[in-house]
Amino acid sequence: MNCQDVHARFADLLFEGEGTPEFSIAGEDGKGNSGLAIHLAGCDACRQELTDLRATMAQLDAWVAPEPNPYFLTRLNARLDEEREAAPLAWPLSWYEKLRARFVYGSRLGLRPVAAMALSVMVLVGGGAYLGLSNPDTAAVPQPKAAVVGDLQTLDNNAQLLDQLEALSSQTND
């Protein structure tokens, strides 16, 4: 046995003592000594720790809980009566106090669904914003062109019309 195995069995030794079957039978050598007894006989650190634990348990067994004050319940009931008889708060303050008491003393389980829903909404909105900003498939908005440049490009695109207009103007000049 090593020290770690002995430490795992300290609770058995403290509560059941050395006369347990585990202490006297488990891991016997030829003389009826257990591996636990052999280790405790040879290991000063484990033996000292077991002695310290036994001393601590003896002190805990000797401890007596103090008697409660005989007037405790009387004072508690008087205080509760005072609170019951106190003037009720106006509705905004009473609502605030009830809400505050719910958060301070109430169960935190009531907030979990609300927190889960808020987190889900934040993830959806954040994901949608990310997709809207980083999607390369969206068409770029064309920049407006200057009026003169736009007119010249329109005229160049309609070269046939210009040729006809030129032919008309040359016929009228002749």
Q: Are 17 and 57 contained in the same domain?
A: yes
In-domain check, residue 158: no
Coil/strand/helix, residue 102: helix
The C-alpha atoms of residue 99 and residue 103 are separated, in whole angstroms, by: 6
Q: Which residues of 133-165 are buried (b: 16+ CB within 10 A; e: fewer)?
A: eeeeeeeeeeeeeeeeeeeeeeeeeeeeeeeee
At residue 83, the pLDDT reads 85
pLDDT at 26: 44
Residue found under tokens 């103090």: 66
DSSP-assigned letters across all residues of 20-72: SHHHHHTT--TTS--HHHHHHHH-HHHHHHHHHHHHHHHHHHH--PPPPPTTH
Same domain flag for 56 and 97: no
User: 78 in a domain, yes or no?
Assistant: no
35 in Cβ contact with 26 (< 8 Å) = yes
52, part of any domain: yes
Other CB atoms within 10 Å distance of the CB of residue 38: 15
Within this chain, do residues 17 and 58 fall inside the same structural domain, yes or no?
yes
Q: Which pLDDT score, from 0 to 100, does residue 59 have? A: 93
The domain tally of the chain equals 2
The predicted structure's pLDDT at residue 76:
93
User: How much is the pLDDT for 72?
Assistant: 92
Whether 92 and 54 map to the same domain: the answer is: no
Domain's final residue, options 47, 62, 77: 62
**Domain interval for residue 58:** 3-62
Q: Is residue 98 part of a domain?
A: yes
User: What's the pLDDT at 107?
Assistant: 66
DSSP 8-state secondary structure symbol assigned to residue 108: G
**Residue 71 belongs to a domain:** no
Domain end call among 62, 80, 96: 62
Compute the mean pLDDT over every residue in the chain, rounded to the nearest whole number. Answer: 79
Contact between residue 44 and residue 58 where contact means Cβ atoms under 8 Å apart: no
Domain assignment present for residue 163? The answer is no
- Which parts of the chain register pLDDT below 50? 24-33
Q: Which residues contact 120 (CB under 8 A, 6 or more apart)?
A: none
Amino acid at 41: A
Task: Quote the pLDDT of residue 16.
Answer: 72
Same domain, 58 and 92: no
Cα–Cα distance measured from residue 114 to residue 54, given in angstroms and rounded to the nearest whole number = 51
Would residue 70 count as lying in a domain? no
Global pTM reads 0.36
In a domain, 79, yes or no: no
